[in-house]
Structure 1
Amino acid sequence: MAIPHRLAAEYPTRCLQLLEAVEPFARDKNLVGSFALLVAAAVLTIPFERARAKHFLHRESDAEMTKMIDGLNKVKFSEAPFWGGDGPSGWRQSHIVEHFDAPERWVARDGKHPLAEDGQNFLPEKTAASLLRALRNALAHGNIIYLNKDGQEQEGDLVHFLAFLSRYEEGEEQQAKSETYRLIVTTEGEFLRFIKRWADWIGYRSIDDKAVEAA
């Protein structure tokens, strides 16, 4: 393996190559959810961190990646450029205010279970940046739960949904009273599709292709 010209930008592309090579095996072994998480933990975290201008390894040549990620603050997740016009399907976001450690007993802000058909879903109005930060935080802290098709954490059942929890704090008063979490839920197949779209978008497109070819 050659040392990359720009790690932050080329790494997602290398992950995508590995993903496409190993995906058939993961599907054959019914490990799509675990496989998607394995890739996501790195392919989301590294570009996000290295794109920060204050990161000590940030380079001037990474400026285009920084611009791309900053631009996600101005667009909704459902309309983000990495979807390529084929937006998300079946994603939900809510805020858990009770029993965050017991999926069957989750209570959202509206008093309902966050997976209830008539429950609140904040995702359509969320920016791509805010949702990606929540996903990154959940991955970094291991706040991930496998759920079956009924939204329950039943040992031995087939995984259908992946749930991501990220600490939500509106202020010191709320922090002192209780813990609440952002909850993002999607199917394992849809999450894998997202990771592939993200890796393709944030990869070589964020740097000068001529510089890569010359390296």
Structure 2
Amino acid sequence: MGVPSRFAIEYPQRALQLIDLLEKSARESELLGSFGLLAAAAVLTIPFERMKSSHFMHDETRDIDLVKSLKALTKAKFLKAPFWQGEPDTGAWRQSRVTNAVDDVGGWCDAEGRHSLSKEANIIHTRKADKVLRVLRNALAPGNIIYLDKSEQEIAGNRVVYMAFLSRYEEIEQERELAETYRVVVTTEEAFLHFVRSWAHWVGGIALDRRVAETA
């Protein structure tokens, strides 16, 4: 395989080929969650950063389609975002905040005192796509991910069903000194892999979308 002409687009295309090759083995080995994380660390983190106009390798003329696509995600709700390939499992996704210590999942609370994983604390349906993606990306980079079982507990040895992605809520150092709160996104292994596939398809198809638009 040759050197890509547009790395931010061709890289997820190649990663998608690898996902197709390896997914069956991951399922048979009951490693679907870890497989999804492995793929996401590459498919989400690298293209997401390369699509930004602030990236030092950004070419304003060449990459205008990438920037426009990324900006579109600031207007679309996550569960209705243009990158989905087929309808997402909306019931499998949750977002909330954790305003207390993160080392005890059972004791997680949001700002109103509700358990962070409760139905009442879930705000995923109101969140814009770029905000949810930022939580996922920020969690992947330092490994702020917790595996949870079917009861949404972190019990060693139990079968993984959910994954929790944690991102610091405070934006500046002064805020971090005053409090330690997190944004948390939780989803299932299956729903997360569906997202990873969808994202890779969407980013990989941006150049094709542009060519179609130019000939219309």
The answer to whether TM tops 0.5 is: yes
Equivalent residues in 2 for 1:133-212 (5 A)?
A: 133-169=134-170, 174-206=175-207
CA distance in 2, matches of 1:173, 1:29: 45
- SS of aligned partner of 1:81: coil
CA distance in 1, matches of 2:208, 2:8: 10
CA distance in 1, matches of 2:89, 2:201: 16
Partner of 2:3: 3
> Which of 90, 93, 99 matches 1:91?
93
Cα deviation for residue 52 of structure 1 reads 1.6
Residues 111 and 11 of structure 1: is their aligned pair in 2 closer, same or farther, counting only changes over 3 Å? same
The answer to whether 1:113 aligns with 2:126 is no
CA distance in 2, matches of 1:172, 1:139: 21
Residues 35 and 162 of structure 1: is their aligned pair in 2 closer, same or farther, counting only changes over 3 Å? same
C-alpha contact (below 8 Å) 1:53/1:66 kept by paired residues: yes
Q: Quick check: 50-59 or 156-165, which moved more?
A: 50-59
Partner of 2:68: 67
C-alpha contact (below 8 Å) 1:143/1:165 kept by paired residues: yes
Unpaired runs of 5+ residues, structure 2, are 212-216
- SS of aligned partner of 1:74: coil
Q: Compute the TM-score of the two structures, normalised by the length of structure 1.
A: 0.91
Q: Quick check: 40-49 or 187-196, which moved more?
A: 40-49
Cα deviation code 1:30-73 (max 9, x no counterpart): 00000000010111111111112221211232221111011100
- SS of aligned partner of 2:121: coil
Residues 61 and 173 of structure 1: is their aligned pair in 2 closer, same or farther, counting only changes over 3 Å? closer
Cα deviation for residue 114 of structure 1 reads 1.5
| Identity score, percent | 48
C-alpha contact (below 8 Å) 2:98/2:182 kept by paired residues: yes
Q: Quick check: 168-177 or 29-38, which moved more?
A: 168-177
Cα deviation for residue 124 of structure 1 reads 0.7
Cα deviation for residue 176 of structure 1 reads 3.1
CA distance in 1, matches of 2:171, 2:65: 32
Q: Quick check: 193-202 or 168-177, which moved more?
A: 168-177
- SS of aligned partner of 1:202: helix
Amino acid at match of 1:55: H
C-alpha contact (below 8 Å) 1:61/1:207 kept by paired residues: no
Q: Compute the TM-score of the two structures, normalised by the length of structure 2.
A: 0.90
Amino acid at match of 1:143: N
Q: How many residues in Structure 1 have an aligned counterpart in Structure 2? A: 209
Unpaired runs of 5+ residues, structure 1, are 211-215
Residues 76 and 42 of structure 1: is their aligned pair in 2 closer, same or farther, counting only changes over 3 Å? same
Partner of 2:27: 27
CA distance in 1, matches of 2:123, 2:209: 36
Q: CA RMSD in A?
A: 1.8
Residues 208 and 123 of structure 1: is their aligned pair in 2 closer, same or farther, counting only changes over 3 Å? closer
